[in-house]
């Protein structure tokens, strides 16, 4: 069912745009170089869809493993400031160093994401962190970093032109080059995130119980930080800060899979792109003949959806 939903939304993502493509046109555009839709699919729609798949998986998986590590149901790369750290790194690169390429951005994004991940965890209390302290530390850093991003971009009109769509969270500039460049960071973060599923299950019982089961808590925490840094840093460098994906999807999946991360993480990785690509398609439909940026749509949809989930869980 989850894979069917992902396939359906991928077809919609390729089909919707300035010119609508039927499922038959999508199929022929994918495989037949002589088809009229071939150029539209391969030059515009397919790279956008692939980037949405990767970014959705990255943000959903990062949110799920952060919630497991911190035992905080509100943990999310956006709400805890990790995306803001990556955004601050990219904005600094654009304004102070004139960087304008993905490979230039990504290293600053990774550095910003890593620094904020470690800082939120430390300020929130480390091993004794509580959900409330982590949420407060993340909210404070989030507000500070986005204020910094706004301030430095307003001081440089050329930088604003470079990143104006990126700051809203957008898939509009996707191309195969960006997809290929993101792939190593995405693959590394995805592998690290899935590999920590069993150790995180042990860590959820407490450090002492985890050690008794053969796990090493410090190594697990380090692996999670590496995974979150690669996933969030790469995703933010590619298409800007996008919120609520990593917060909502684990909550939506958990009633069906239970708390076992060996099931939760794979299902989150499959369903997170469904939400992101669905929001992107909705933005194209509502904003026609232009489009609403996907980061704007997820922000508008995320609040009410999360409130509904909170009320339904009572």
Give the pLDDT band of residue 263 (cuts 50, 70, 90): very high
Would you list the domain boundaries of the chain? 53-307
Residue 55 has pLDDT above 90, yes or no: yes
Of the chain, the percentage scoring pLDDT greater than 70 comes to 95
**pTM as predicted:** 0.90
Tell me the C-alpha distance between 265 and 32, whole Å: 36
Alpha helices in 35-101 (DSSP H): 38-40, 46-70, 82-96
Question: CA triplet 131, 214, 123: central angle to 5 degrees?
Answer: 25
Closest C-alpha among 191, 182, 281, 235 to residue 55: 235
**pLDDT at residue 127, as a whole number:** 63
pLDDT tens string 201-249: 988 888 788 888 888 888 888 888 889 989 999 998 888 889 889 988 9
| pLDDT at 314 exceeding the cut of 60 | no
* Strand ranges in 113-193 using DSSP code E only, listed in sequence order: none
Mean pLDDT, the chain, rounded, equals: 87
Pick among 1.20.1250.20, 1.10.1040.10, 3.40.50.620, 1.10.3470.10: CATH of 53-307: 1.10.3470.10
What pLDDT is stored for residue 275 in this prediction? 94
Which residues touch 75 (CB under 8 Å, ≥6 apart)? 63, 66, 67, 69, 131, 134, 247
Handedness of CA 234, 238, 241, 246 (dihedral sign): negative
248-259 tens-digit pLDDT: 899 889 989 998
Q: What pLDDT is attached to residue 192?
A: 93
Note if the bond before 32 is cis, omega within 30 degrees: no
Specify the range with the lowest mean pLDDT, choosing from 133-137, 163-167, 217-221: 163-167
The CA distance from 98 to 294, in Å, is 26
* Greatest extent of the chain over all pairs of C-alpha atoms, in Å: 63
* Whether the predicted pLDDT of 161 surpasses 80: no
pLDDT on residue 281: 94
pLDDT (tens digit per residue) in 76-103: 887 788 888 988 998 888 888 878 777 7
| Nearest alpha carbon to residue 236 among 65, 126, 111, 129 | 111
Residue 180: predicted pLDDT? 93
């Amino acid at each position: 069912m989850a894979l069917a939903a992902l396939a359906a939304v991928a077809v919609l993502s390729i089909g919707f745009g300035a010119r609508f493509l039927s499922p038959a046109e999508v199929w022929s555009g994918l495989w037949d170089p002589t088809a009229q839709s071939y150029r539209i699919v391969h030059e515009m729609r397919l790279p956008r869809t692939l980037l949405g798949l990767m970014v959705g998986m990255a943000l959903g998986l990062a949110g799920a493993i952060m919630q497991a590590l911190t035992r905080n149901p509100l943990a999310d790369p956006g709400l805890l400031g990790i995306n803001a750290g990556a955004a601050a790194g990219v904005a600094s690169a654009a304004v102070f160093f004139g960087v304008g390429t993905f490979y230039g951005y990504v290293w600053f994004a990774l550095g910003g994401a890593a620094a904020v991940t470690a800082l939120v965890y430390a300020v929130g209390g480390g091993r004794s962190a509580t959900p409330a302290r982590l949420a407060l530390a993340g909210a404070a850093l989030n507000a500070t970093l986005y204020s910094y991003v706004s301030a430095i971009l307003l001081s440089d009109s050329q930088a604003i032109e470079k990143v104006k769509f990126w700051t809203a969270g957008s898939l509009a500039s996707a191309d195969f080059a960006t997809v290929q460049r993101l792939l190593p960071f995405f693959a590394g973060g995805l592998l690290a995130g899935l590999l920590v599923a069993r150790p995180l299950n042990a860590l959820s019982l407490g450090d002492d119980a985890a050690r008794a089961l053969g796990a090493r808590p410090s190594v697990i925490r380090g692996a999670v930080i590496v995974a979150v840094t690669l996933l969030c840093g790469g995703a933010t460098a590619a298409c800007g800060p996008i919120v609520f994906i990593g917060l909502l999807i684990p909550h939506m999946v958990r009633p069906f899979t239970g708390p076992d991360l060996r099931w939760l993480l794979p299902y989150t990785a499959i369903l997170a792109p469904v939400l992101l690509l669905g929001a992107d398609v909705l933005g194209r439909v509502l904003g026609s003949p232009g489009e609403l940026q996907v980061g704007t749509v997820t922000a508008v949809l995320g609040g009410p959806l999360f409130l509904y989930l909170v009320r339904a869980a009572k």
